[in-house]
Amino acid sequence: MSDVYGVFGYPVEHSWSPFIHGMFARQTGQDIVYHLHESTPEQFREDLPDFFRDGGKGANITLPHKQVAAELMDELTPRARRAAAVNTILATDHGLLGENTDGAGLVTDLKSNLGLVLRGSRILMLGAGGAARGTLGPLLELKPRTLLVANRTRDRALQLAQHFQDQGPVSACLFDEIGRESFDLIINATSASLLGEVPNIPETAVSSGSVCYDMSYGVRETSFTAWGKRMGAGACAQGWGMLVEQAAEAFFLWRGVKPDSGPVLDALRKHVAAGTQPGAVQPDR
């Protein structure tokens, strides 16, 4: 019988995870099935334990459940404990182990796929929610010159910066307090792109040497990457690479084999170029 995995979120019908993990399984010869689980915030605390009681081997967690998932774990990895958020769960003999692969996925995409050198760089993080929380630690491990967290509300940004201040030069401000200096990398970790909006930041934050990276993604340009291009950024990218790379980290935790993310990312880009969303890919039996 195939091992059962799945992703929990609300909403979740748009998820590309069944396609990604199906390709990983076929590539590595792993016998798994992977399903979508739409779970409301009211249902999630019951739905997740039920999944594992019914024999689930592992799960991915997406919005809005990552922080609640951390509360439901029997054990957290150091990355998940620091982030206080879980996006990957492994069923072990000792209970549920919670991990956070978001930061590792982002860093791999930035370094390996986009070829960025971030040591000594100036990084601007837009947003102070769960998406930012899961990635600050791995970004600070790259030794940037500065990492500024800008948010719509001051308290949340300050709390996040203080939580990670022992790891590197991180500070916080409101969007309208960013100043006039440009940044090497601007990461949009807000949900603004889902609404067709852009955080209210100064145009001077972007220069011809800047990379504008949107953690959101879609078959069309996001509002943030479109804005970055209008502002003259040197490069703009959506979070497709982060999506695939964090999934590869999760697959390795589950199955003990690291898949090749390149062919999967290429396949996703073909679907994006065609304006289509793929269905699930089941592994060869």
User: In terms of Cα–Cα distance, which of 10, 8, 33, 9 is closest to 21?
Assistant: 33
Please indicate whether residue 143 is annotated as part of the active site.
Answer: no
- Structure tokens that stand for 202 in this block: 């100064």
- The dihedral built from the CA positions of residue 249, 251, 254 and 258, taken in this order, carries a sign that is negative
Residues 6 and 21: their CA atoms lie apart, in Å, by 9
Beta bridge partners of 95: 92
- The dihedral built from the CA positions of residue 228, 15, 60 and 270, taken in this order, carries a sign that is negative
User: In terms of Cα–Cα distance, which of 166, 124, 162, 129 is closest to 146?
Assistant: 124
Alpha carbon 8 to its chain centroid, in Å, reads 14
Residues 92 and 108: their CA atoms lie apart, in Å, by 27
Contacts of 239 (CB under 8 A, 6+ apart): 106, 109, 213, 214, 215, 216, 217
Residues 193 and 232: their CA atoms lie apart, in Å, by 19
Which of the residues 66, 111, 258, 270 is marked catalytic? 66
Q: Would you call 221 exposed, middle or buried from its count of C-beta atoms within 10 A (0-12, 13-18, 19+)?
A: middle
Residues 126 and 197: their CA atoms lie apart, in Å, by 13
Catalytic residues: 66
